[in-house]
Chains A and B, each alone.
Chain A
Amino acid sequence: MNSPWFQSLVHEWYDPLFRFALSLCSDREQALDLTQNAFYKLAARPDSLHDPSRAKSWLFSVVHREFIDQYRHRTRFPSTHLEVVPETPDPSANPRARTLDREAVLRALQALDEHFRAPLSLFYLQSHSYREIATILDIPLGTVMSRLRRGKDRLRALLESGAGATPAETSRADPLDFPQERTGHE
């Protein structure tokens, strides 16, 4: 039987970790593998985590590093595969009022350089402050902000160029009327 500590980690962070992995690789099976492996590593060698209060950051760092290793391997040993052709952009789409399709967002994330993809993926989980993102990715705080800014601009450009935005009327809340939900992770 697992300890309550490990069980609570799995219950609390499995889904966010999987979504992070999926945002990185855009492949469900690979994302499952990345997520499972992170927990297996922790289970096999819990003492590799020098500070248990940093388990969350440790797990996300492991997924990121593992993805980078696989990414580099694929870059060195590329394989040919069929890609889904993006939908033709809808010229009537209003980028300011929309809903976004998940596959389109994942596809757009894949089109970004990994330097932007990883911080954006963590940011959109909403589980991590920019300080925690800096820790997980081992980059300076200023770099996190810079990559988020530039990454969002590129992501927006990709989506608005037709990677999946569909027009829909959405309510426009007062930007300074911040939502009160403080759920930590979604």
Chain B
Amino acid sequence: MNKETVREILSAYRPNGADTDDPAFAEALRHCRQDPETARWFEEELSFDRAVVAALRSGDSPAEGRETVLAQTAATLPRSPTRRRRLPWWGGVAAALLLGLGLFSILSTAPEGTRFQRAGFTLAGLVEQALPLQHEAPQFGALASWLAAREAPVPAEPAGRLAHEPTVGCKVFADDEGGRISLVCFRVEGNLVHLFTFDDRTAGLLAGQPRGEWRDHDGLHTKVFEQDGRTYALATEANPATLGPTRSGEMSASLP
């Protein structure tokens, strides 16, 4: 890696240190530490960047604009949309037929919670059904109580980064065999992070999946882990690095 490449890479390094743990910068930073000339250049770069950030941040914020948005959109009831993919026309017809055929059995036999299929189960498929959430609340405790009241698996209270982020809501997935999966959804820097908790009957669905490592499925990052005998899965489309290595306590060993 030559000096010019190092400088180009480090030009994208944010002065607040948010990229410290991004491996894309590791080699350039290492080079910088070993080369005094590049280090001086980087010092000047960060100094300049901080001055620009401070200048742009110095203006007043239009608080009234935020309130106007909330007031004027209140009547439209914007809700979190469902993550979806476009179907071909025949897909829509097939979906309608399946919906019609399955509706009766679902209504007559499904336990409380969104139905999921064991056949062909994938975390990505579960994420597809994550929204809309069944219950919305910004506190983890409120969601845990809601889940417990429905005899859904309740996740351990998160530590580290997720402990400091607001929750969005939760949901229960259930199947005909009595298995349940609960979902607690967090918002981290504008991105949704789904924490799925599996009970004894559904943990086997993840039997073949490696534990403790992030995997990328076409842009969806997932991680399966276990703690206190319970199986969990995290899923997000955000860069897992943004969740940060900020965990502490027992859950910290399992969360990313």
Determine the distance from Cα of A80 to Cα of B11 in the docked complex, in whole angstroms.
Answer: 36
Q: Taking chain B's interface residues, is the majority helix, strand, or loop, or is none over half, making it mixed?
A: mixed
Query: Which of B49, B78, B85 contacts A43, CB < 8 Å?
Result: B78
Of B51-59, B96-104, B170-178, B247-255, the one touching chain A: B51-59
Determine the distance from Cα of A52 to Cα of B237 in the docked complex, in whole angstroms.
Answer: 10
Determine the distance from Cα of A65 to Cα of B51 in the docked complex, in whole angstroms.
Answer: 28
Residues of A within 8 A of B82 (CB): 47, 52
Most buried by A among B45, B58, B65: B65
Contacting pair B58 A127 (CB below 8 A): no
A84 at the interface (CB under 8 A from B): no
Once A46-B79, A130-B12 are accepted as A-B contacts, the answer to whether A53 and B69 lie under 8 Å apart by CB is no
Query: Which of B14, B48, B72 contacts A152, CB < 8 Å?
Result: B48
Contacting pair A3 B77 (CB below 8 A): yes
Most buried by A among B74, B80, B84: B80
Q: Is the interface on chain B under 10, 10 to 19, 20 to 34, or 35 or more residues? A: 35 or more
Most buried by A among B61, B69, B74, B82: B69
Interface residues of B in 177-218 (CB under 8 A from A): 187-192
Determine the distance from Cα of A79 to Cα of B56 in the docked complex, in whole angstroms.
Answer: 27
Of B36-44, B117-125, B152-160, the one touching chain A: B36-44
Q: Is the interface on chain A under 10, 10 to 19, 20 to 34, or 35 or more residues? A: 35 or more
A148 at the interface (CB under 8 A from B): yes
Of B87-95, B105-113, B130-138, the one touching chain A: B130-138
B141 at the interface (CB under 8 A from A): no
Once A11-B66, A129-B239 are accepted as A-B contacts, the answer to whether A1 and B74 lie under 8 Å apart by CB is yes
Closest 10 CB pairs of A and B: A56-B190, A175-B43, A43-B73, A130-B12, A5-B80, A53-B192, A100-B55, A149-B11, A178-B17, A184-B189
What are 21 pairs between A and B in contact, CB < 8 Å? Answer: A4-B136, A10-B70, A11-B66, A14-B65, A19-B57, A23-B56, A35-B65, A43-B76, A47-B81, A54-B191, A123-B12, A124-B53, A129-B14, A130-B12, A130-B19, A145-B8, A175-B43, A176-B39, A182-B18, A184-B242, A186-B53
